[in-house]
Structure 1
Amino acid sequence: MLSHVTSPADRPDGLHHHGDAEVGDGLVDLAVNVRRQPMPDWLAGPIRAALTELAAYPRDREATAAVAARHGRDPAEVLLTAGAAQAFVLIAQALRDVRRPVVVHPQFTEPEAALRHAGHAVERVLLREADGFRLDPALVPADADLVFVGNPTNPTSVLHPAADVAALARPGRVLVVDEAFADTTHRPGTRGEPESLAERRDLPGLLVLRSLTKTWGLAGLRIGYALGPAELLARLATAQPLWAVSTPALAAASACAGPVAVAAERVIAAELAAERAHLVDGLAGVPDVTVAGSPASAFVAVRLSGAGQVRLELRRRGYAVRRGDTFPGLGADWLRIAVRDTATTDAFLATLTDVLKERQ
């Protein structure tokens, strides 16, 4: 059997643990998947200008229209959110009539945490390392009426084929695809974001969640959005607080939806692909370290014996990496490592190699 469905009842998984908890003063941050580069003027300018408008309540019409235009959608098919993570809460709170919600793991833990907090009984489909953590649509129960899947998936960095994800859509089901890292993906010789469903309007019940915080270093600003059928987004909006997205965040959304931003994302994604390949190649040369699947995003997951102690020793030597045992479907022998520039990667790999040699 490729995978199995489980119930998480009475199982403490640390679902609310995130990479920022690993970061500390003086540590090289390989735990948080947010790009840390100077903000370009076309983005910094509108955000600064928005600070002069804080006396007025936020008005989201312009930003909604900009996001809709980027994805070839009607503005009614866009719901701006305070970060993509807010959308998980809206879904859990607004869709109270869901009978069998399923979360495909390993993936970002906040969707399940939001569902459980809202009182939903969540089931898990656990993908296996032996299969490269690849999605098999047949593993999802046919009567699941709410399904969450990440693409590319955090923490495994696996990019599922769009056809496999789309195969999960069906009448009577809400299919939530977390594409928070879609803009980090790159495929040579192609344009756009490989395997994204953001522009698909033909799939019943499809909700695509997006984040603007990763590539543009806006985690503290909280801006993301949901794309989907207008009637479904209207239901989610009933659970959203008034003026949920701030004026500076709306300015960022408008700027990041423009052609200059989209072109820049593609350049950054190509550069990231080279940096990721450098990290993966380097890890292949470290004894007893296995990289999960075929990484396609801004991070990689690795398996190594005694990962918990290795993480602490790396911390003592100046590097923060993300523990993997809080992700359902992984375990105590897993770490997640953010992709950084090649110099940072080389220094980290040398330190990791030393730590592992000293443990022998």
Structure 2
Amino acid sequence: MRGQPIGAPPGVMPEPDLGHHGDVEVGEGLRDLAVNVRQAPMPPWLAEPLAATLADLARYPDPAPARAAVAARHRRPPTEVLLTAGAAEGFVLIAQALRGIRRPVVVHPQFTEPEAALAAAGHRVERVLLDAADGFRLDPARVPADADLVMIGNPTNPTSVLHPAATIAALARPGRVLVVDEAFADTTTAPGVPGEPESLAGRRDLPGLLVLRSLTKTWGLAGLRIGYLLGAADLLARLARVQPLWAVSTPALAAATACASPAAVAAERAIAARLAVDRDHLLARLATLPGVRVAGRPASAFVLLEVPGADRIRLALRDRGWAVRRGDTFPGLGPDWLRVAVRDPATTDAFTEVLAEILEASC
């Protein structure tokens, strides 16, 4: 069932298409700024274990070693890890397993699959719509006290806002399942923090907490489908009961094991540091363009832009060979929003030059 807004900006917007995703924007001959997957060669420590699994595909997958590796990374027992076929499967498991939920709330704008999965399972979803004027920051008081399922992204797609961990943790309470989508947590940095500032992945003291993680973004594994859930063992057991047998393939399990290694974690942190530099470069270039406003304080691998006539500009960019993500399919946004992936400085310079020409021609 469609989400009902608890708090909404002025004006009535059409119901967004929750099934629209950035990959639809990409086409042959287009330079991809629409999909938030890192574009880089696969490192040998990941490519070699993946290739080795091709000789062992006659055997059914055994998730135990990968689950143990992920658990060790997050300092949890293996019973507090559930491997999934991409983070998106986690939303489906939650929606299907938690049939007794009475008042599910999704905090928007955010990735649309949590609400889509709930609606497909027959839940009546309510939306808390964060305000652009406030930088899409979360006020926990906006979430109804009797909501027994709350879903939020951190950092949030598409706004690129990184909420303080304490703010997210304030949503946890007995009798409530709190789902935090941390698909992009490994893209974030902060001075003096060893890695993943504001992540709740290691928290075991918060009642009802479920943290969703993805391995597809930083390591370019969108086609492999691998992610996982972290949470209390009894809650994950409920989700596992509705998961298909052997849901995660042998190659995906090998990827999970490799990406949980200390070498992988160190590489992630180096990539996140480089990403911060590239993001600052993109923000500096965008700041020179009249009529373009960046939402909030971007902290991840993408930025959200408010541009009058954004859909017309998106199509003009497409004609010039560039794919960006439309924003009006996210609840809480409208026709003047675009999401742009952070790429290397050369790509950013080429893109912003074309965008500047389009904006000037439209004046």
Partner of 2:358: 355
Q: CA deviation at 1:281?
A: 1.1
- SS of match in other structure, 1:345: helix
Find runs of 4+ consecutive structure 1 residues off by over 3 angstroms.
3-6
Q: Does 1:260 align with 2:259?
A: no
Q: CA deviation at 1:245?
A: 0.1
Q: Would the aligned equivalents of 2:149 and 2:178 in 1 still touch at CA under 8 Å? A: yes
Partner of 1:34: 37
- SS of match in other structure, 1:227: strand
Partner of 1:206: 209
CA distance in 2, matches of 1:186, 1:114: 30
Q: CA deviation at 1:4?
A: 4.1
Partner of 2:335: 332
- SS of match in other structure, 2:51: helix
CA distance in 1, matches of 2:21, 2:54: 29
Opposite residue 83 of structure 1, the aligned amino acid is G
CA distance in 2, matches of 1:108, 1:343: 28
Summarize deviations over 1:144-187 as a string: whole Å, max 9, x none.
00000000000000000000000000000000000000000011
Partner of 2:126: 123
Partner of 2:226: 223
CA distance in 2, matches of 1:340, 1:173: 38
Q: Does 1:180 align with 2:178?
A: no
CA distance in 2, matches of 1:47, 1:154: 28
Q: CA deviation at 1:190?
A: 1.8
CA distance in 2, matches of 1:234, 1:5: 34
TM-score by length of 1: 0.97
Opposite residue 203 of structure 1, the aligned amino acid is L
Q: Would the aligned equivalents of 1:324 and 1:332 in 2 still touch at CA under 8 Å? A: yes
Partner of 1:108: 111
Summarize deviations over 1:64-95 as a string: whole Å, max 9, x none.
00000000001000000000000000000000
RMSD of the TM alignment (CA)? 1.1
Summarize deviations over 1:29-54 as a string: whole Å, max 9, x none.
00000001000000000000011110
TM-score by length of 2: 0.97
Summarize deviations over 1:103-123 as a string: whole Å, max 9, x none.
000000000000000000000
Report the number of matched residues: 355
Partner of 2:241: 238
- SS of match in other structure, 2:303: strand
Percent identical among aligned pairs is: 73
Summarize deviations over 1:277-322 as a string: whole Å, max 9, x none.
1001111110000000000000000001000000000000010000
- SS of match in other structure, 2:329: coil
Opposite residue 215 of structure 1, the aligned amino acid is T
Q: Would the aligned equivalents of 2:6 and 2:126 in 1 still touch at CA under 8 Å? A: no
- SS of match in other structure, 1:177: strand
Partner of 1:151: 154
Opposite residue 61 of structure 1, the aligned amino acid is A
Opposite residue 234 of structure 1, the aligned amino acid is A
CA distance in 2, matches of 1:311, 1:333: 10
Opposite residue 154 of structure 1, the aligned amino acid is N
Map of 1:1-360 to 2, 5 A cutoff?
4-5=6-7, 12-360=15-363
CA distance in 1, matches of 2:249, 2:7: 39
CA distance in 2, matches of 1:341, 1:163: 32
Summarize deviations over 1:247-302 as a string: whole Å, max 9, x none.
00000000000000000000000000000010011111100000000000000000
Q: CA deviation at 1:11?
A: 6.0
